[in-house]
A and B are shown apart, each in its own frame.
Chain A
């Protein structure tokens, strides 16, 4: 099991290095990067807004009620904002993107593999790594942090609505406490975490797709593996990144 995990990890590092190296080879595929950014980022915005606002709302509801027990409900805003910026924003965004786009990457590239489309690329003297993998790594790296910001904003908005209108917390206190406790570095650290998660999602999704074998069943397995491995890696690496950053 340990050997297997290490070999897998080594494989992902190889994919990452290969993908980054291919980025510097001609031609530079700006239009493919933009297309992937649209697929990962723009097309995920609605689902991220939806999950973000409800995550913020439920956090406010739970923590607001708990804080009320010892008359500290004024802290609700700060607690929600801190949890979102440091942890829930990047992690939840990454998990949603892993489920939505990591799976799609594995399925798309995996189908291309089993129907010989990747072989066709090679035969046409097109490097499949620079064509399929590099643009997705860059798109993940750029778009997941941006999505996490959308998640955070909507989360805090959701918390605001619940706190002010349902829990009847003073509006000024709500924002005052956020300002008092949340620091710019919380935002930056969350941002960097999300960027790391974005790379993880793309590398895992692409590698699993790229190494697919065994027809339709193989594509199914690659897709499942991509989501499971990406999600677990996100949660595990989150611990280590947090330990390093905070």
Chain B
């Protein structure tokens, strides 16, 4: 039977930096096994929210429940265990530039699993194939294009088969064709891992195409949530305007 409980629930999350209150009480439920996209304009606190979800920042107030357990108050050891359930693709991939592609992807495995070098090589090969970049093991991140770096970043994020994958602006800085390819890859990865996907994005076109659930963050709070279709017809004009502006800006041929 399908588990209907949300895998991740954010309750009343607040965070202030200096004078500026960036998160003003975020409430959000992330459904299990689906693609949830959090949209919002630049500077609305999207990245800050993501950093809270993954535990890089601690909130002033509020809780983040992963299967009912609060990540905010968790002790270091269980938090480490909880983090193993996440995989994250950073905006610029954040590959270790002192390591080649193989070592980058092998890194989390070497840190957390005992695996023979031969099996590891096969695993890396398999993951590279999964992201559509076979035979690039010996290349260094500096030799790769933006889109290729993202793919390697994704291969590294999914190498331990995480339950939840977070994407921080996965298509920012990529051309429309590469963006499209990355979107497809996100969907394919979601299906392959059968996990939960959370995407932070301001790419409306992609959002409408791949999301099961959309939540809009505006001025530090979730102002609307629903399926892409519901969001397009939302009563709040700010939401409609944001979605429509994103779609009309992109030529239909690129969709």
Contacts and interface: CB of A to CB of B under 8 A. Distances in A.
B209 interface: no
B4 interface: no
A123 B112 contact: no
Contact of B111 (A115, A117, A124): A124
Contacts of A124: 83, 107-108, 111
A108 B99 CA distance: 13
A60 to B, nearest CB: 42
A119 interface: yes
A116 B80 contact: no
B88 A123 contact: yes
B117 interface: no
B111 A116 contact: no
A122 B84 contact: no
Contact of B80 (A27, A112, A125): A125
B74 to A, nearest CB: 12
B1 interface: no
B111 A119 contact: no
B115 to A, nearest CB: 14
Given A115-B94, A116-B94, A120-B94, A125 B56 contact: no
Contacts of A112: 96
B90 interface: yes
Interface in B17-58: 51, 54-56
A122 B108 CA distance: 11
B80 A119 contact: no
B163 to A, nearest CB: 14
A211 interface: no
A116 B107 contact: no
B56 A122 contact: yes
A116 B108 contact: no
Interface in A217-246: none
B111 A120 contact: no
Contacts of B107: 124
Interface in B81-118: 83-84, 86, 88, 90-92, 94-98, 107-108, 111-112
Given A122-B56, A125-B84, A116 B91 contact: yes
Interface of A: 27, 108, 111-112, 115-117, 119-120, 122-126
22 contacts: A108-B98, A111-B97, A112-B96, A116-B91, A116-B94, A117-B95, A119-B51, A119-B94, A120-B90, A120-B94, A120-B96, A122-B56, A122-B83, A123-B54, A123-B56, A123-B86, A123-B88, A124-B107, A124-B111, A125-B83, A125-B111, A125-B112
Interface of B: 51, 54-56, 80, 83-84, 86, 88, 90-92, 94-98, 107-108, 111-112
Given A115-B94, A116-B94, A120-B90, 11 more contacts: A27-B111, A111-B97, A115-B92, A119-B94, A120-B96, A122-B55, A123-B54, A124-B83, A124-B107, A125-B80, A125-B112
In the A-B complex, list the 8 residue pairs whose CB atoms are closest, starting with the nearest. Answer: A116-B94, A120-B94, A125-B83, A125-B80, A123-B88, A124-B108, A116-B90, A117-B94
